[in-house]
Structure formats: structure tokens, C-alpha cells
Structure 1
Amino acid sequence: MEQFDYIIIGAGSAGCTLANRLGEDRAKRILIVEAGPMDRNLLIHVPAGVYKAWREPKFNWNYDTEPEPELLNQQVFMPRGKVLGGSSSINSMVYMRGHPLDFDGWEQECGLPGWGYAHCLPYFKAGESYNRGGDAWRGGEGPLGTCKGDYENPLYDAFVQAGEEAGQGYTDDLNGYQPEGVARLDATKRDGRRCSAAVAHLRPALARGNVSLITRAMVERIDIAQGRAQGITYRHRGALHQARASGEVILSGGALNSPHLLMLSGIGPAAHLKEHGIACLVDAPDVGQNLQDHASIILQFESRKHYPIHTVDRPWNKAMAGLRWVFTRDGIAASNIWEAGGLVRGNDHVAYPNLQYHMGPVGFEYVGNKITLSQAFAIHVDQLRPRSRGELRLRSANPGDKPLMQFNYLSDPHDLKELVEGVHKCRDLVAQGAFDALRGAEMIPGPHVKSDEEIAQWVRGVTTTDFHPSCTCRMGPDDRAVVDGECRVKGVEGLRVVDASVMPRITSANLNAPTQMIAARAADFIAGRPQRAPEYPGFAFEA
């Protein structure tokens, strides 16, 4: 049985960040345990390769929701990274922090002093190295490589121009001074390669020599005695092992795996644990509750002009794109595809953007794990601040059984209304003059879907996830909150949860960037270091 100062469960976005920041103190011995394999597969590191890699069972937990009542009882496929780097190794690499007012809401409305955007911004900046350099809003010297989309395609240009023409706004940087409008998006890439959390954070941490990594190791429980987390029990190569932490155990399994492991370890709703024969050590009724996600729909339109990306899935074209990437690190293979998008308002009553676009200059269809491309372009429309709430529960007391998850998408009529508005906004954008020479027929949902009632019925049949589960171990000052404002699990000493599950409310954009920010802040809490001084350089919405 080995002894460490800190044990980190999960080598995803949060776990890798924690290992790097805590490992700066070389006197500390740190163990990080990951259920998946190393990230050696080349398709993980080729940006466009993700569209083959992300459905690979070797790298993916491959969850499914329970039948969703408001989605015509369909199950929603819920991929989560099971590989070094976690979901940051299989995501679409879009780097978005969320709107500053999201974090101000955490502070002012959720009772979390010190979590306003002024306190978070210094950590966002310290964490990234932006290819256009640092300024009052962006970081230029951090470990995570980020870059502005630069793959040239007239469909991206038309999208951005059409957003302006439609009055939906334009911004040069959604993570900067004006976090609203359409834009070329940022991505977690460096020199044409994916910059996952493993690349940015874990490899530098391992190089110091005081961080140990075990892969393909499934943690079965957190060992708790006398009210304190003592260590973990994990299965590796068919045998059970134990490791002990003299400092803290930090759970960074993500919004689905973290509450699951807490409940398996005796921390959760007492009655539910009793149903599965698990002794309740801490009655924590909100473990697994408050589950949130960004519901997403995808519209597709024919492109009147052909571009190389439309046929890159053909064997010869794919081989040539791969060879170009090997020798030059550019071209189609170096693109994460969703290089344009936006944060926009679906109506005049919201205080700040409530819809998000991700635009790709190609049509696509998945049949199983095979993707077929077409001469078209696609636009994701996400509803950003859902009122619907779901829950995650145990399927059994067997650690190998996947949890039950019910997101209850669109169970609040407000969410369906906003997605219907999103269809109208997207169609209005594509109808602008900037698209006249490029826009063909609407393929999905098609021109026959016209009225709000018809759109709503279509939305119920096609809504899916944008891969942002969160909030199942929420921070808060109240007794039901799972963790406090420093991510400490209430009722247990020496145990924290640090990942997207601690968000009290989902942020209005992709979650990888804020998850790394949360982890960097948590590392300072754990190490007893002072927090970075708050910064608030001002934003366009205050003008």
C-alpha cells in the first residue's frame, strides 16, 4: 500500500490541471488514477481525426440516458472521455469560457463569494497561451494552447457576415471584450495539433518526477474512516489495490462519474443508498441531483458550391489530407471543423445571450461509428441556460455497472420555447444576402417544417446533447449543497470534488475551459496558496 500526499481520481480536464498545479511543489507526492488508456492514438492528436476517434469504445465511456419523456422517449447517447485527457482528448476543441455574467450569477445568486468573473478571469488568463498574444482579457504564457480558427472556407466568411446582416452581432473574440455575437471561434490547438489537458498539464507534471500515473485503473471506492477520506481502492489488471493519502483525496471523474463514485463510497441520498445495500456514511441528498446540459439541435443546408472538405471522407482525399498534416500540420486535418459560431439572443427579453451556434462547412450523417459527408453546411443551435433538471442514480452497487441518468430534457416548457426561437434565428441568419451565392435548399429540418408547433415537434424528435453534463455535486452555502465554495465535500474531511459537477449552474458555453479554471483555483485552495488578485477590465455589455 503506497502513501501519497494527494490522490487524484480521473485524468481528465480537471485532474490533469490539478496534477500540474499541485505538482509544482516537488516535495509533494501525487498519484493520479485514470480508468482509460494512454492517449497514444494518433487520431486523438489530429484535430479532424476526432470525428473517428470520439466514438471509439476504447476511449469513451459510451453512456446513454434513460428514455427521455419529452424527447419522444428516445435515449440520448452521452459520450465521455475514458482516456488520458478525458473528454478534452475526444471533444471538438472549442475553447469558450462562458459569459462573465454566468460567474457573477454564481457569486451573487448562488451565494458563492469569490466566484464572480473578476476572480475567475486571472485563472483563465494564467491557464492559456493564446496565439494572438495576451491582453487584459486573454493569457499569453499559460500551458493550454488556444488559437483563433484559421482554416479558410467561404462558408465560414458567409456565416460571420450573415450574422452581422441579421443584426445578431459580430465580435472579434467571444472570450474577450465583447462576449456576444457571431465570430470565428477559438480552439484548444497548438501548432496544428490538439492541445488536450493531458498535453498541456499532465505531461509537464509527470516530467517533474513527483507525480505518478496509473492508467486502466478503475477506482471502486473512496476509503473513509472516522469521518475522513483515507485513500482509495482500485482495480488494476484484475486485482484490487489500495493507496493512501496523508493530505487529500480529490475526485475529478466528471459530472457523471463523480456522483456515481461518491454514492458507491457511501456519500449520497440515504434512502437510495439503502436500496442498493450501501452503508450511508454521509446523507447527502443532492449528490447526483441538479443534472444540467445544453440541449442541441442541428440544422443542415445544401451548399451550392463544392469545397474540398465535402469529400475529404473519400479514401484518397483522406490519405492526402493526413499526409499534408504529417508534413505541414495544416490543411483540413488540422481543423476542428466547428471553427465559426456565436452567442446570440433568441428574444429581446434575455439579459445576455441564451443561444449558441457552432457552424461547420460540411454536412454529415453518422451511421454507427461511420461518418458520411455531403456538400452542405451544418449549424448546431444550443439552448444555454436550461430550466430543466435531471438526476443521476445508481443502477446497482457494482462499480462496473453504469449509472442511471435522466436529464429530463425540455421538461420545462421554457427550454422548448427557446429552441424553437433558435430555429427561427438560425434560419434568419442563413437567409441573409451573404449566403445568396452559397445557400442551397434546407435539408434538415426542411422547408415543410414551418409553424412553431411543427418546429416544436421536430425539436422533440431530434434534440441531443452538446456534451456538457454538469452540476451534479454543486457548490453552495446551503446544507443540501454537496461541496462548499472551496470544493470540499460536506461531512467528510480530506475529500474534494473538482470538475464540472461542482458548478451550481451550467455556464453559457462549452465547459472545458471553465472546468480547467475551477481546477486551477481548487489547486490553490488545496495547497493553501493565496488566490490570484481579481481583475475586471470591463466588457461591451456594460457600455
Structure 2
Amino acid sequence: MPKPDRYDYIIVGAGSAGCTLANKLGADTSKSILVIEAGPMDRDLLIHIPAGVYRAWRDPKLNWNYLTEPESNLLDRQVDMPRGKVVGGSSSINSMVYMRGHPLDYDAWADHFGLTDWRYENCLPYFRAGETYAKGSNSYRGDSGPLGVHPGDFDNPLYDAFLEAGEQAGQGRSDDLNGFNPEGVARLDATKRHGRRCSAAVAHLRPALKRGNVTLMTRTMVKRLTFDGTRATGLICDFGSKELRLEAEQEVILSGGAINSPQLLMLSGIGPADHLNRHGITPLLNLPVGQNLQDHASIILQFESLHSYPIHRVDRIWNKARVGAQWVFTRRGIAASNIWEAGGLIRGNDTVPYPNLQYHFGPVGFEYVGDKIQLRQAFAIHVDQLRPRSRGEIRLASANPTDKPLMHFNYLQDPFDLQELVEGVQKTRELVAQPAFDGLRGAEIDPGPEVQTAKDVENWIRNATVTDFHPCGTCRMGHGDDCVVDDHFRVKGLQGLRVVDASVMPRVISANLNAPTQMIAARAADYIAGQPQLDPIKAPFAFQN
């Protein structure tokens, strides 16, 4: 329990953004910083064993376990929406894939949303400064940052076949999707260091806590923000059986993510006025909080493997013990792998300006039976639609902070999104049909050989679409009336309050969101502290017209 009740900065959420902010802002040891996390400390060993993620992320003690509202375009199914409720946030329970997104994503923020300071050349120096890349530095990669990043190196012939097949199918090949060539199939990077997960808590928060000016409160539920007029002064939270009032001398920073940050804003009277009134909340400021919700819809294709590899049998009890012992003593082997060590950014058709589909490839098949994962002698390919046109919203279920918010993602509401996933099925089947998989490829499990007509594929997609865990956009940054924060993350119309997390993205990045979120937070820390931004890096990138 912290002794003082006043701090220079209070950060709500110890996830990817909150940990990064605490580390950078805390470098000035004259500043006192409080980080508040609703979940526990990240002590569970399965968090830190890379392959343990497939148990850890389903643990209700570490996960908010959100569900969407019934999605009308997914046969009224509710979609599981895991979010980290633990120190490190979702970076402690995700699959550790490190992807920055395509340079044109950031240039589009500048060109389409007037965010001129968010071009790729302005973001690249923060990506470089934030990482230590195991292969060393170059114009794109850093070697002295807090986040450990390691390229995939787990040996399995199915990875090799996937990469060769991508070339044979004409889908391209890249040595580094985060480098010069952000297109094609490749071995993927992971947020790992010495065979262990390198979460935002490991990379950023632990060093920050050692300085002595950063305090962490876990298992603490923030109920609402407090204001003096239009200035945020702090918050009220439940800590154990006590209700505490904590005050911020300079700023309160919300880093709860695309679901929790808009929820807390609305509970505090900041959001659509008519919606707040319906829940008996007096509006302080009418802003489009909770709108512009976006995510990467994902489908998973699986194929039998004609060869059995050790990874296919790792769920057997004696194999688990052997693999676990190997990791404990060497930090190597299957347990040191995040499994999705290959993937790609590809184009579903010839008209898109840059890749609109993403692969994550794993050399093992699986299904969940209850809360347990059952492995198959197979391989699996996630296919994500990267730039959806459908938009959803976050809404309050009630004025009770403990009630989970209502989330309508409206997956596939726009027919364009369904068509791109249809193309994703076609591209994946083309890739797996290539000679590189001859002798390795068995029967198609999902969707299955009986799913052939366009209508059959569409029906399967509606029944099979899930999330790839990348919600964003609900506190959009920009300059118009449809924005919640400005390009320095200040909540419009208020003082002393910012939102810094994936919710500020005006448009979802065309890849996984953990790395972009940490980059955003690192830039935000410099804005908040009044430090100059890092010098732009005008590094070229491969681009096919």
C-alpha cells in the first residue's frame, strides 16, 4: 500500500502502454508516479514460459474474459475477447508476435487524419529505441532498448515448407517484415529474451520500480475519475475493502486499453451524453468515446500433417515434464517457442496498395475441449483481415464499475470484409497446395474439402471467425468532432487527462498491436515530459505498385 495519496502522475493500467510510460516518465526521479493495475502481479510461471501462453491466456485469474454481444453477421455468436488482467496486461498473455505494421499505415494516419507528426519516419526511431533485436542493429532495428525481440528459430520442417510455399505461390518472401521489406512470408519476431517472455512488465515496469519513484498498486479497481471543473485531479478506487481517493498533481493517464479506457471515461461522465444520461451519469463532456471500435477478424485453417513431430505430442504428460525440464535448465526447446514463429503479410488481390492479409503459421493443429487444449498431428494458419471497414462500439452495461461493458464489434458488417476473408481462404489453400508441402500435407481439416462453393466458404467464415485480439480505436486521436484526444493524447476539452493506449489509433495497424502500442506510449512520454521527439529516420522500404 503506498504511503502518499498524491503523485505527479497516476497511470491507470499496467499493460503495454502503462508499463512503457512508467519507465520513461520515471527516468526523471524527481517525479512520483503511481501505476494502478486491476489484476495481480505477473508471478504465474506459465506467463514467462513462452509455450505456456496456451494455458495462461485462458486463466480467469489473469484475463478479463470479455465476450462480445451477439454478432449478427457471425450467426449471432458471441466472440471471446481475452484481455490481460495482470501486470504486463495483454503483453503477459499474448502470443508474443512482434510486428510493427506497414510504413504506409502510419503515413495514412498523416494523410487521411491530419496527424502530420505520425508518419512512419517519426515512428521508426521509437521502434528502434524501444527494442534490443537479437540479430543486432541497422537502420530499422535497435540493439539497446528495453524490449527483447528475437526472430523465430525453432526448428521444424513445416516452417521451412511454409516459407518455400509462399515463394512458390508468388506471395513473396521477406528476411524481416519489420525491416526493409514489409511484405511476403517470413520467420516472425517474438518478444522474448533468453528463452523467456519479455512482456512490457519485464521490459519496462521492473526497471522503473527499481528506481524508487514509481509505485505499483495491484488488485485495485478504479471506479471513476475526479475533477475540479474541467481539470482531472485524480481518481477513486477500491483497494481491498477500502475506497481510496488518490490525487495527481500533474496528470492522470488512462492506459487500460481499447475496452477499459473508454469504460472508465464514460463512468466518469465523459462520453456520448444521451448514453450517459440513460445510465444516470451526469455528463461532464459530450465526446464520441467508445465509437470507432476496430479489430482484426481472424479465421484458422488447419491441415493434417503426414509426419508426426515431437510438438504434436507435447501435450502428453511425460512429454510435458520432459519439455518443461528442458526449459528450466536450458531455456530452449518446444517450451521456449511461442509456436507462431512464421507468418506473412500478403495481398489478397492485385488491387490493394499493400498487404491486407496476415498469416500466423504454427506447425501443430489444435482444438479446445473446455478450458484444455488438445493437439492434433496437423499444422494451422491464422488468416487476419488487416484493414476492416466495419466499425463497432463500446457501451456501458450500467453505471456499476464492476459490470463488464457491452461491446459490439460488428464483424463483417461491411461486405468488403467478408470478401477479403474469402480471398484469405483462397490464398491459404493456394499456398498449402504448393510443391513445398508435397509429402507433408494431409487432408484439409478446416474448413474441410466439402467447403468449396463461394456460399459454402462464406458460411464457414461466418461460423468460424474469431478475434486476433487487436481491439483499438475507441478513443480516437485527431482534430475533428469525431475524435476523443488530440495528437498528443490530451482528452479534448479537459486538462490534466490523457489516454495513451491502442484506443487512440484512428485506424487499426496492419499487423499485431503490441509493438505499435509501446511505440505510441514511448512517444507520449516525451510529449508529457516536454522532451523533444526523436529525430525522424527516413529509411526506405520495398514497395510494389
TM-score over 0.5 (shorter chain)? yes
Q: Where does residue 416 of structure 2 map in the other structure?
A: 414
Extract unaligned runs of 5+ from structure 2.
none
Counterpart secondary structure, 1:59: coil
Offset, 1:110: 0.9
Residue 124 in structure 1 maps to residue 115 in structure 2: no
Residues in 2 aligned to 1:437 and 1:330: alpha-carbon distance in whole angstroms: 28
Q: Where does residue 208 of structure 2 map in the other structure?
A: 205
Q: Where does residue 382 of structure 1 map in the other structure?
A: 384
The two structures, once aligned, show a CA RMSD in angstroms of: 0.7
Residue 307 in structure 1 maps to residue 306 in structure 2: no
Aligned amino acid, residue 135 of structure 1: N
Residue 149 in structure 1 maps to residue 136 in structure 2: no
Counterpart secondary structure, 1:114: helix
- Once the two structures are overlaid, the 10-residue window that deviates more, 302-311 or 446-455, is 446-455
Q: Where does residue 55 of structure 1 map in the other structure?
A: 58
Offset, 1:453: 1.4
Offset, 1:369: 1.1
Q: Give CA-to-partner distance per residue, 1:177-215, whole Å, 9 cap, x none.
A: 000000000000000000000000000000000000000
Q: Give CA-to-partner distance per residue, 1:505-524, whole Å, 9 cap, x none.
A: 00000000000000000000
Residue 107 in structure 1 maps to residue 110 in structure 2: yes
Aligned amino acid, residue 362 of structure 1: V
Offset, 1:93: 0.1
Residue 221 in structure 1 maps to residue 250 in structure 2: no
Offset, 1:479: 2.3
Q: Is the contact between residue 354 and residue 544 of structure 2 (CA under 8 Å) also seen in structure 1?
A: no
Q: Given the alignment, which residue of 474, 491, 494 partners 1:492?
A: 494
Aligned amino acid, residue 84 of structure 2: G
Q: Where does residue 355 of structure 1 map in the other structure?
A: 357
Aligned amino acid, residue 293 of structure 1: D
Residue 399 in structure 1 maps to residue 401 in structure 2: yes
Residues in 1 aligned to 2:144 and 2:333: alpha-carbon distance in whole angstroms: 26
Q: Given the alignment, which residue of 243, 263, 266 partners 1:260?
A: 263
Counterpart secondary structure, 2:172: coil
Q: Given the alignment, which residue of 4, 29, 37 partners 2:7?
A: 4
Residue 168 in structure 1 maps to residue 155 in structure 2: no
Aligned amino acid, residue 434 of structure 1: A
Residues in 2 aligned to 1:234 and 1:460: alpha-carbon distance in whole angstroms: 40
Aligned amino acid, residue 60 of structure 2: P
Residues in 2 aligned to 1:28 and 1:323: alpha-carbon distance in whole angstroms: 43
Offset, 1:484: 0.1
Q: Given the alignment, which residue of 481, 484, 487 partners 2:483?
A: 481
Matches within 5 A, 1:63-74: 63-74=66-77
Matches within 5 A, 1:188-203: 188-203=191-206
Q: Give CA-to-partner distance per residue, 1:454-499, whole Å, 9 cap, x none.
A: 1011000110000000000000111231000000000110000000
Aligned amino acid, residue 131 of structure 2: E
Q: Where does residue 190 of structure 2 map in the other structure?
A: 187
Aligned amino acid, residue 150 of structure 1: D
Residue 346 in structure 1 maps to residue 348 in structure 2: yes
Residues in 2 aligned to 1:23 and 1:138: alpha-carbon distance in whole angstroms: 25
Q: Give CA-to-partner distance per residue, 1:75-112, whole Å, 9 cap, x none.
A: 00000000000000000000000000000000111111
Offset, 1:242: 1.2
Residues in 2 aligned to 1:238 and 1:186: alpha-carbon distance in whole angstroms: 43
Q: Is the contact between residue 79 and residue 467 of structure 2 (CA under 8 Å) also seen in structure 1?
A: yes
Aligned amino acid, residue 406 of structure 1: H
Residues in 1 aligned to 2:120 and 2:319: alpha-carbon distance in whole angstroms: 45
Q: Where does residue 273 of structure 1 map in the other structure?
A: 276
Q: Where does residue 530 of structure 1 map in the other structure?
A: 532
Offset, 1:542: 6.8
Aligned amino acid, residue 63 of structure 1: Y
For these two proteins, the number of residue pairs brought into alignment is 542
Offset, 1:451: 1.4
Aligned amino acid, residue 100 of structure 1: P
Counterpart secondary structure, 2:235: strand
Counterpart secondary structure, 2:61: helix
Residues in 2 aligned to 1:384 and 1:238: alpha-carbon distance in whole angstroms: 44
Counterpart secondary structure, 1:493: coil
Counterpart secondary structure, 2:343: strand
Q: Where does residue 459 of structure 2 map in the other structure?
A: 457
Q: Given the alignment, which residue of 8, 12, 24 partners 2:27?
A: 24
Q: Where does residue 248 of structure 2 map in the other structure?
A: 245
Counterpart secondary structure, 1:142: coil
Aligned amino acid, residue 87 of structure 1: S
Residue 76 in structure 1 maps to residue 79 in structure 2: yes
Inter-CA distance 316–408: structure 2 relative to 1 (3 Å threshold):
same
Q: Given the alignment, which residue of 515, 522, 537 partners 2:517?
A: 515
Extract unaligned runs of 5+ from structure 1.
none
Q: Is the contact between residue 348 and residue 420 of structure 2 (CA under 8 Å) also seen in structure 1?
A: yes
Counterpart secondary structure, 1:327: helix
- Once the two structures are overlaid, the 10-residue window that deviates more, 42-51 or 477-486, is 477-486
Offset, 1:537: 1.1
Residues in 1 aligned to 2:98 and 2:10: alpha-carbon distance in whole angstroms: 28
Residues in 1 aligned to 2:482 and 2:54: alpha-carbon distance in whole angstroms: 40
Aligned amino acid, residue 39 of structure 1: D
Counterpart secondary structure, 2:463: helix
Q: Where does residue 288 of structure 1 map in the other structure?
A: 290
Q: Give CA-to-partner distance per residue, 1:10-52, whole Å, 9 cap, x none.
A: 0000000000000000000000000000000100000000101
Aligned amino acid, residue 295 of structure 1: A
Counterpart secondary structure, 1:261: helix
Aligned amino acid, residue 372 of structure 1: Q
Residues in 1 aligned to 2:98 and 2:422: alpha-carbon distance in whole angstroms: 26
Q: Where does residue 180 of structure 2 map in the other structure?
A: 177
Aligned amino acid, residue 341 of structure 1: G
Offset, 1:287: 0.3
Q: Where does residue 94 of structure 2 map in the other structure?
A: 91
Q: Where does residue 231 of structure 1 map in the other structure?
A: 234
Residues in 1 aligned to 2:160 and 2:277: alpha-carbon distance in whole angstroms: 57
Q: Give CA-to-partner distance per residue, 1:209-260, whole Å, 9 cap, x none.
A: 0000000000001111211000011101121001111110000000000000
Once superposed, which parts of structure 1, at least 4 consecutive aligned residues long, lie more than 6 Å away?
none
Q: Is the contact between residue 84 and residue 90 of structure 2 (CA under 8 Å) also seen in structure 1?
A: yes
Residues in 2 aligned to 1:336 and 1:480: alpha-carbon distance in whole angstroms: 38
